[in-house]
């Protein structure tokens, strides 16, 4: 006897069994510490931590090149004998120190050249017509300039040369959410007055948190003026668009991104100072803008209930415009997922049309016979439904977090706006400590003391709400339900980066390193959800934050090992196809991805991965850098 099935169409038909492909099989709770999950959880790790460590230490049974082995053994013999013997040993070693240094430089020259060239390839300015292009949308873009702002000469020249339409925004903007972005048609690029580096691919604008890592990479490559110009652009955004934006497009006028502004400011300031060009006047100006940006996160609606902590929140409503083209069918898939769940908590995100004015697209519902024959199944209409307004609020807040798509804040990020996240509040603590430092440098002692107190208050709240003493790990806090999440996520290392934990807490966090460590670096979580910000993917920004946090608490050996795993993955894939990508599979050490939630492509470029390569490489000991160079020059097939 056939069984009925529910079908969801817009316009094609998607049946409930197909929606279950997103569900996976829930596994038994490990030691009863976790609630039943609507998605697959990998309690038994696919790759053992010992295997990852074996690779990073170079003891895996894969032979290194003969030249590399000769150097290694010759240096080992030389290391433990007297100075006079070192001279003798160096003479007869197969490769001299000078030759080794040259080989190291040659081994990394190609990937370093790629990164150096990419800074120029990914730089956008008004002298280039492609700056206006928006790969995420089908319509031709427009350049918008602030209301009442004189049209700059370079914009007038671009208007003639590129045949670009230029418009003024309809009003002066003081804060996010003041402008109804749905009335800005067509959507367009927001004017910035300095050059900037974009991530690449579909991301052809200047992004908030991407830019911190890009700035770090530019500083490593001595491109300090370009880095400073990007920070200046954020000052322009605060002055004319109300905040550091997700990115400089009109549809991002409703949200920001993780707050790294003070970290960017100090990165540039310290680099200028090291180069003999300390600029206190610039720091004074930067301090004012940083204070204004900080205010966004410490007032409603960015407050996480009564916790005294902060949350992600987007002022807009309905579907995120940037999802329309490159994430075709995404919201239909989300609706199918929720319809396939047993718990009302998730099913209620799909709302029948008759119950309320719908937000976003409508989906046709059908009830169909389930048949195993080739005969066409009989179907009856079950009306239409849409995703709820609250789902879209969560989806937009997830996008402000930068971690889109992850199931960290509920399936498809639907409850992001009900959490006080570890990452955000660690960043705000770091911001408060940075502002304290800047105040001291500027001679503002009273303000420095005020920032110190704010930081201490936030630290106390982080320890109260986000620290789980039983688990020995930081978790996001669900302030709506008054409980911590149990979703282990790599952002647990953000507090170490910011300097929040005690040494004992840091040691407890490090006990969880095997949860995240895979052959290709640190995986985002142990949850395989189909989202690109979950298992099995490793992302550059979190590698940098975790690496520096781990080092800060004295775990240098672990930091070197984990950094090498990620660096060698990037380098190995670069040897294969000559590109650097947005993300990597940390289990297979491959740039091949199988993302099913959100946009599916793995973008070439890529701004923050290029930067992370330079930053992590700088922190590695010389022996590890030499080994990485040896792998780059080895014949195909001789390495891992």
pLDDT tens, residue by residue, 429-464: 999 999 999 999 999 999 999 999 999 999 999 999
What average pLDDT does range 530-541 have in this prediction? 98
Which alpha helices (H) appear in 466-502, and where do they start and end? 494-498
Strands, sheet with 166-168, edge to edge from the N-terminal-most edge strand: 166-168, 142-145, 188-190
**Is residue 21 predicted with pLDDT exceeding 80?**
no
Beta bridge partners of 590: 585
Looking at per-residue pLDDT, the higher value among 598 and 417 belongs to 417
Whether 40 contacts 360, CB under 8 Å: no
Extract the tokens encoding 363. 């989906």
What average pLDDT does range 616-633 have in this prediction? 95
Residues in the chain, total: 640
**Is residue 327 predicted with pLDDT exceeding 90?**
no
Instruction: Tell me what the pLDDT averaged over the chain comes to.
Output: 86
Whether 42 contacts 518, CB under 8 Å: no
Cβ within 8 Å of residue 474, ≥6 positions away: 422, 462, 466, 467, 468, 491, 492, 494, 495, 509
Give the model's confidence band at 79: pLDDT under 50 very low, under 70 low, under 90 confident, else very high. Answer: very low
CA distances from 426 to 166, 214, 295, 420, 498 (A): 40, 20, 16, 11, 6
**Burial status of residue 13 (CB atoms within 10 A of its CB: 0-12, 13-18, 19 or more):** middle
**Is residue 35 predicted with pLDDT exceeding 70?**
no
Q: How far apart are CA 545 and CA 430, in angstroms?
A: 12
**Is residue 85 predicted with pLDDT exceeding 80?**
no
| Chain position carrying tokens 């001279």 | 87
Whether 90 contacts 78, CB under 8 Å: yes
Phi/psi of residue 424, each to 5°? Answer: -60, -45
What average pLDDT does range 402-415 have in this prediction? 97
**Is residue 227 predicted with pLDDT exceeding 50?**
yes
The pLDDT value recorded for residue 508 is 98
**Is residue 19 predicted with pLDDT exceeding 80?**
no
What average pLDDT does range 214-225 have in this prediction? 98
Extract the tokens encoding 211. 């830019």
Q: How far apart are CA 619 and CA 614, in angstroms?
A: 9
Q: How far apart are CA 198 and CA 196, in angstroms?
A: 7
Whether 37 contacts 342, CB under 8 Å: no
**Is residue 100 predicted with pLDDT exceeding 70?**
no
Whether 408 contacts 476, CB under 8 Å: yes
Percentage, residues of the chain above pLDDT 90: 74
Q: How many CB atoms lie within 10 A of CB 346?
A: 20
Percentage, residues of the chain above pLDDT 70: 82
Give the model's confidence band at 634: pLDDT under 50 very low, under 70 low, under 90 confident, else very high. Answer: confident
What average pLDDT does range 316-328 have in this prediction? 84
Nearest to 273 by CA among 265, 598, 395: 265
So which residues are the catalytic ones? 404, 582
CA distances from 311 to 291, 318, 426, 491, 546 (A): 18, 19, 12, 15, 21
Q: How far apart are CA 25 and CA 335, in angstroms?
A: 19
The pLDDT value recorded for residue 104 is 66
Rg over CA atoms, the chain: 26
CA–centroid distance for 481 within its chain:
27
Q: How far apart are CA 265 and CA 288, in angstroms?
A: 12
The pLDDT value recorded for residue 89 is 36
pLDDT tens digits, 264-315 = 999 999 999 999 999 999 999 999 999 999 999 999 999 999 999 999 999 9
């Amino acid at each position: 006897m056939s069984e009925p099935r529910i079908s969801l169409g817009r316009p094609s038909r998607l049946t409930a069994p197909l929606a279950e492909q997103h569900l996976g099989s829930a596994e038994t709770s490990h030691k009863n510490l976790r609630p039943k999950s609507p998605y697959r959880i990998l309690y038994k790790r696919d790759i053992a931590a010992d295997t990852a460590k074996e690779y990073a230490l170079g003891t895996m049974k894969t032979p290194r090149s003969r030249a590399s082995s000769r150097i290694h053994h010759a240096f080992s013999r030389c290391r433990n004998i007297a100075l006079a013997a070192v001279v003798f040993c160096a003479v007869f070693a197969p490769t001299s120190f000078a030759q080794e240094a040259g080989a190291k430089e040659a081994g990394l020259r190609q990937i370093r050249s790629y990164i150096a060239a990419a800074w120029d390839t990914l730089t956008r300015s008004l002298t280039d017509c492609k700056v206006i292009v928006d790969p995420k949308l089908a319509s031709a873009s427009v350049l918008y300039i602030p209301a009442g702002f004189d049209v700059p000469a370079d914009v007038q020249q671009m208007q003639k040369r590129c045949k670009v339409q230029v418009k003024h925004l309809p009003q002066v903007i003081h804060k996010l959410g003041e402008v109804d972005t749905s009335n800005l048609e067509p959507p367009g690029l927001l004017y910035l007055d300095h050059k900037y580096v974009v991530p690449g691919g579909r991301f052809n604008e200047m992004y908030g948190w991407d830019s911190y890592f890009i700035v770090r990479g530019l500083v490593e490559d001595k491109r300090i003026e370009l880095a400073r110009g990007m920070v200046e652009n954020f000052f322009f955004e605060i002055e004319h668009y109300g905040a550091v934006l997700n990115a400089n497009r009109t549809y991002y006028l409703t949200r920001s991104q993780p707050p790294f502004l003070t970290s960017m400011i100090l990165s540039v300031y310290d680099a200028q100072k090291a180069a003999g060009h300390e600029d206190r006047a610039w720091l004074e100006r930067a301090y004012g803008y940083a204070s204004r940006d900080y205010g966004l996160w410490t007032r409603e609606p960015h407050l996480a209930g009564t916790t005294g902590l902060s949350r992600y929140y987007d002022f807009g409503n309905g579907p995120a415009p940037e999802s329309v083209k490159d994430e075709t069918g995404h919201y239909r898939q989300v609706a199918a997922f929720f319809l396939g769940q047993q718990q009302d908590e998730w099913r209620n995100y799909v709302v029948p049309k008759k119950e309320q004015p719908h937000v976003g697209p409508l989906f046709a519902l059908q009830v169909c016979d389930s048949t195993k024959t080739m005969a066409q199944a009989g179907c009856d209409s079950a009306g239409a439904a849409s995703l709820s307004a609250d789902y879209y609020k969560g989806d937009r807040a997830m996008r402000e977090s930068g971690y889109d798509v992850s199931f960290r804040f509920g399936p498809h990020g639907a409850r992001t706006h009900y959490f006080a996240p570890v990452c955000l509040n660690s960043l705000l603590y770091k911001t408060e400590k940075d502002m304290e430092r800047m105040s001291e440098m500027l001679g503002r002692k009273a303000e420095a003391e005020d920032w110190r107190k704010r930081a201490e208050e936030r630290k106390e709240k982080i320890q109260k709400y986000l620290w789980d003493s039983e688990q020995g790990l930081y978790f996001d806090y669900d302030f709506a339900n008054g409980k911590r999440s149990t979703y282990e996520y790599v952002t647990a290392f953000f507090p170490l980066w910011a300097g929040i934990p005690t040494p004992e807490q840091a040691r407890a966090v490090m006990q969880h390193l095997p949860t995240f460590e895979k052959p290709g670096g640190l995986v985002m979580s142990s949850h395989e959800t189909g989202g690109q910000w979950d298992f099995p993917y490793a992302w550059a920004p979190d590698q940098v934050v975790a690496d520096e946090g781990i080092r800060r608490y004295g775990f240098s050996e672990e930091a070197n090992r984990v950094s090498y795993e990620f660096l060698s993955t990037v380098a190995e894939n670069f040897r294969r196809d000559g590109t650097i990508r947005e993300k990597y599979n940390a289990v297979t050490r491959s740039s091949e991805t199988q993302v099913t939630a959100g946009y599916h492509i793995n973008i070439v470029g890529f701004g923050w991965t290029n930067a992370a390569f330079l930053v992590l490489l700088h922190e590695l000991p010389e022996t590890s850098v030499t080994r990485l160079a040896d792998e780059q020059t080895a014949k195909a097939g001789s390495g891992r």
